[in-house]
Chains A and B, each alone.
Chain A
Amino acid sequence: MKVEFSSILSKNEWLKPVLGFVGLFALCTLFSPVTGKGTKIFIKFDNLSNVLRQVSEIGIISIGMTLVIITSGIDLSVGSVLALAATLTAFGIMDWQLGFWLTIIIVLFAGAFAGFVSGALISWGKIQAFIVTLAMMTGARGFALFISDSNSRNIGFGQNAAPEIFKIFTTSFFGIPFPVFVFVLVAIIFSVILRKMRLGRHIYAIGSNEEAARLAGLRVNWIRTSAYVFSGLLAALSGIIHSAQLYQGNPNDGVAFELDAIAAVVIGGTSLQGGKGTMEGTIAGVLIIGILSNILGLHGIQKDFQLMLKGAIIVSAVLLQEGNLRFSFFRK
């Protein structure tokens, strides 16, 4: 029985992080604070839908990051691209009066373009991803500050302001906030791409062995670039949601979001060496971080302690995934 279980685990890479999430969810339920009436706050519908809303921004970014990391790359620019997108959204709607749809299209295009520039520099310019996206991170932030004159731009409603449809991002359907639907939809689309489509297979292949992929006839440079394009596009989408939630476009937002996204991807079992990882794992990673800070918040535990615990979680998640822990401790 035990043997079978371990072989199932090794065949389905996504199972470990998902089981980790389930286990953590059970623990959170067990140790949830209780209301006067005796119901557990953690598993109340409102609380859970709130968790989902909170993770949807990082979640969407993490999906793009997963693609990039599977190609054995990294995208440090997503936080800045998010800020740029949020700023552009506010200005597009309020100052430039582009209307809802045109604004969204332009913002998404800007994000994808940033990703394309990074991907092209990495692929054809042969510069390391870390350096290129570090430069993009700096540059995109600068551009956001430039267009906004370093000020955040409020998004107002009512007369001569944002169109009513923009409120969709803060509306809930069946009690679930709209951004959650976007997150779920994006997650489904990209897990299908990774699992079922040629592009997904190619992304794994170039991450696993770039030279073999080239010799097998894959257009390595285009495939890698497309991963960065998706990463930029999704960061921009997340930026639109971000600005709508806060009713403002702030060029200073999104700092260190890339690190949260990388953490979620890594907790989800994707290897930074590339060629390995799943979208399901990343979603589990996002949710693990989400419910963890939620339960700690419910218990009134402060940010400082939360951060320390998050650090510990990242390391232990990777140790568990790699399965190195047991061997190195008990063999010698």
Chain B
Amino acid sequence: MSLLEFINISKSFSGVQVLYDISFSIEKGKLFALVGENGAGKSTLMKILCGILNEYQGDIKLNGNKIIFNNPREAENAGITIIHQELNLVAELSVAENIFLGREPTNRLGFIDFKKMYAEAEVLLRRFDFPFSVETKINKLPIGWQQMVEIAKALRLKAEIIVMDEPTSALSENEIKFLFEQIAQLKKSGKTIIYISHRMKEIFEISDEVITLRDGRFVGKYSTSKINQDFLVSKMAGREIKTDRVRKQYHSTEQLLSLNSVSVIGSNKKILSELSFSLNCGEVLGIAGLLGAGRTELLKFLYGTDNSGFNGEIKFLGELFKPTSPTKSIKNKIIYLSEDRKGEGIFAELSNLKNGSISILPKISRLGFIQKKNEYKVVTKKVNELNTKMDSIFQKITNLSGGNQQKVLLSRVLLINPKLLLLDEPTRGIDVAAKQEIYELIDKLKAEGMGIIFTSSEIPELLSVTDQILVLAEGKQKALLETEKTNSVEILKYAFEE
């Protein structure tokens, strides 16, 4: 009998459907790897399971009984715990205090019973040969051991199902080995584990079964011993390019940007290493890669947002180029549109008009005074060109839907008449129609001779919009492919390469 059943789970975020009728079941005492591209719906599904998201269609059954969790705490009480990629520990508290956070043992007067807490924490951690005192502060622990504290926390809650979201992303080789030993122990003691990972090697090393999602749909559940990596990649990629869109080519021979073995060094480690590619006017370069592959870092580096040093050679319009600051980049007609619309894009308190004009104010003001008529004219023209739907341009931007907000932001960046446009996931979180319009816009801009670098988590999108695709993995250039001659399976293969 299955321990946990998902029955027809569907979920949408503000009109955009992200999960479609997902149904599968998992059995007790096994380790299930949950795999899929970025945006396939893995995290959303797990958030539903753990009570973080609670509005969805469909049913979840635990031991045959339907369960509804209003919050993570209820899920924890039912024995389901998630260990997030970003650990949820309080740095300033001790190991024991973290394990018992929110559920501290108390004495009759309501004071925390520290003796009991420390004793119980030690019992929980004994199985890991925990080398520190339980009174050690969390921030004194190496990251690998912090992970063990998270697991101890789950065990203390008598968790039967433990979800681990990319637990190895911050661990060293040795720590990973140790973690896997502990996971094996957990399995032996009858715990069920759902393991989200992008690392093929790990998936084949520790999982019993693999569950594949693609574009919010369930693809299949396979016994790990019966499949190989190529099979899995093809299942994740699945859908081939829609050919209804004819990709136009305009690239001139004029070189816009070229990187020659460029490495970027952040505060303590290399963020990007050995990148070499070139982009002509009227050409679109797509950047593929998993989360943390360095896509955003590359665009932001080219835009000059962080002043980290770099090695190698960058040429822009035939001349040596060094990105220094967004202000300078805009003068050079390079502009960046962030993937994080709310955090780094819109000014929530300001109107559509002011959001659109912010980067061209020097051009439309005289002696420091903004020429309001001119401002109104140019911004209105641009937002209309992009077919932005709004009641009034004087309304706050937050009244618009995600897609229309994105169009206002696109107007902002296009108004500077860029030569090089850096678009970071411009279609994230917007509806299908708006996506189509953005593809058409990109085609049009190509025709005008603009060079565009475009990142996306959706490979079909990259295949239909770009001329070349650069595949990154962990900051390294894995492949530079001609879009004409590649397919999603090949791209994913490189993206998962280690």
Contact = CB atoms under 8 A, between A and B. Distances in A.
A239 to B, nearest CB: 27
A202 B327 CA distance: 13
A202 B369 CA distance: 12
Contacts of A199: 368
Given A204-B349, A204-B350, A216 B369 contact: no
Chain B: interface residue count, which band? 20 to 34
Interface in A205-264: 205, 207-209, 211-219
Contacts of A332: none
A126 interface: no
Given A205-B350, A208-B349, A215 B338 contact: yes
B348 A218 contact: no
Q: Provide the main secondary structure of the chain B interface.
A: mixed
Contact of B350 (A11, A217, A218, A275): A275
Nearest to B412: A216
Q: Which of A198, A208, A217, A218 has the most CB of B within 10 A?
A: A217
B129 interface: no
B347 A218 contact: no
Q: Provide the main secondary structure of the chain A interface.
A: helix
B326 A215 contact: yes
B368 A197 contact: yes
Interface in A126-172: none
A205 B350 CA distance: 8
Contacts of B359: 216-217
A215 B305 contact: yes
A176 B445 CA distance: 61
A217 B330 CA distance: 7
Q: Which of B347, B348, B362, B370 has the most CB of A within 10 A?
A: B347
B354 interface: yes
A279 B354 CA distance: 18
A204 B347 contact: yes
A212 B341 CA distance: 9
A202 to B, nearest CB: 8
A53 interface: no
B349 A197 contact: no
Given A198-B368, A218-B358, A212 B326 contact: no
Contact of B344 (A196, A198, A211): A211
B365 interface: yes
A212 B305 contact: no
Nearest to B329: A217
Interface in B340-387: 343-350, 354, 358-359, 361-362, 365, 368-370, 372
Contact of A212 (B344, B361, B370, B372): B344
A16 interface: no
A125 B330 CA distance: 25
Interface string B295-323: 00000000101000000000000000000
A44 interface: no
A201 interface: yes
B32 interface: no
A213 B368 contact: no
Contacts of B130: none
The 8 closest A-B pairs by CB, nearest first: A275-B349, A208-B347, A217-B330, A208-B349, A211-B344, A216-B358, A216-B359, A276-B349
18 contacts: A11-B394, A196-B369, A196-B370, A201-B358, A202-B361, A204-B354, A205-B347, A208-B348, A209-B347, A212-B344, A213-B358, A215-B345, A216-B326, A216-B358, A217-B327, A218-B358, A219-B327, A275-B350
Interface of A: 11, 196-199, 201-202, 204-205, 207-209, 211-219, 275-276
